[in-house]
Amino acid sequence: MKTNKKISEFKKLIIETRNKEKVKKEKVDIKWVITVTITAFLISFSLSFISEMTIPNLSLWIGIIVTLIFILIGVLFDIIGVAVTTADEAVFHSMNSRKVKGAKVAVRFKKNSARVSSFCCDVIGDVCGIISGAAGATIATILITKNGFNPLLTSLTIAAFIASLTIGGKAIGKSFAINKSDIILYEFAKFINGFYK
């Protein structure tokens, strides 16, 4: 009887603790969602403006290179986002205790891995995906107007090409990020450490 009472009290305590954690998480999540939304808008607006102002005025080949750069940035940040979530925090605590450059930043990234991953994969990755798609549409327009290509076939081919490069790149990047997560996080943290205060 006493055992059953203790179990029910224990269950009650767990439920109360979870409810408190949910309230805390909800408050943090709302603030984070607003921050991410505003950041995504600003980054997307800036990069879209740059691509819209430059790509139509560039030669076809430079426009293609710019589009490929946007795809590469999206894949690169997706790799970083996956590496942050899968890296081993204990390694960076050990490095931080020995005052290794960038280790402190890596620990901070790892402690906030959900946010860092969300920013890298969802904000930067998705924004680059949208912009590369828009850049692809501009390239298709150039090909159609200047070279007389078939409008439907050209648009579909370029859209499919960009999608396959993005998806294929992210698929390769994810397995690489999981296998080399500690090294990727360390190199990224070391780079950020130069700007970090």
For the stretch 115-131, pLDDT in tens is 888 888 888 888 888 88
CA 70 to chain centre: 13
Region 91-102: mean pLDDT is: 85
Domain boundaries along the sequence of the chain: 39-193
For the stretch 126-161, pLDDT in tens is 888 888 888 888 888 888 888 888 888 998 999 999
> Residue 26: what pLDDT?
47
pTM of the model: 0.75
* Selection from 149, 131, 146 nearest residue 52 by Cα: 131
* Average pLDDT for the chain: 82
Write the CB contacts of 78 (distance below 8 Å, at least 6 apart in sequence). Answer: 120, 121, 125, 170, 173, 174, 177
Region 8-16: mean pLDDT is: 61
